[in-house]
Amino acid sequence: MNGKRYSRQRELIYEALMHTKEHPTAEMVYQQLKPENPSLSLGTVYRNLNVLADEGRIRRMAFPVERYDADLHPHHHFRCDKCGSVYDMALPYNETLDQQALEVSPHLVENHEVIFHGLCSQCRTCMKKTS
């Protein structure tokens, strides 16, 4: 754990991420854990998410509001342009794309991220009902 001492709150935050597919923001994690952990602060959630990301136990996801993912296997995401929800996409990870990038670039390419954009199924349903 990079010399960091054990923290019960950090483990609660990590467990919350491990048991969701929502790719939550720090605020979402805080709102989920606060009722059963009244001493928890939003600052504590942010600090511990950063520690977990620095340790490589979770992944930071750069959206307009930073989100987190405990699934470290290479995979793609979908972000709804209307509601902002983020979902995993069940598509095969294309390792040949990494190799192609290495061949055309002087950079050391280790992996890539693909984010699909559009309307999620819930927003599409809502739009159909209002049109």
The DSSP annotation for 29-42 comes to: HHHHHGGG-TT--H
Range list for CATH 3.30.1490.190 in the chain: 76-130
Starting at the edge strand found earlier in the chain, the sheet holding 86-89 runs 86-89, 76-80, 115-118
pLDDT of residue 65: 83
The mean pLDDT value of the chain amounts to: 91
**pLDDT confidence of residue 33:** 97
For residue range 44-73, list pLDDT tens digits in order.
999 999 999 999 999 998 777 889 999 999
| pLDDT band with cut points at 50, 70 and 90 for residue 1 | very low
pLDDT value of position 111: 86
| Distance set, CA 112 to CA 10, 18, 37, 71, 76 (Å) | 28, 22, 37, 15, 9
Mean pLDDT of the 97-123 span: 92
How many CB atoms are located within 10 Å of the residue 6 CB?
A: 7
Tell whether the torsion through CA atoms of 9, 57, 70 and 78 is positive or negative: positive
Give CATH 1.10.10.10 domain extents, the chain: 8-69
The pLDDT of residue 69 is 95
CATH class entry, domain 8-69? mainly alpha
- What per-residue confidence (pLDDT) applies to 5? 78
3-state DSSP call for residue 69?
strand
Q: What is the pLDDT of residue 43?
A: 96
- Superfamily of domain 76-130 in CATH is Ferric-uptake regulator, C-terminal dimerisarion domain (3.30.1490.190)
- pTM, two decimals, is 0.66
* pLDDT for residue 9 is more than 80: yes
Mean pLDDT of 91-115: 91
pLDDT at 116 over 90: yes
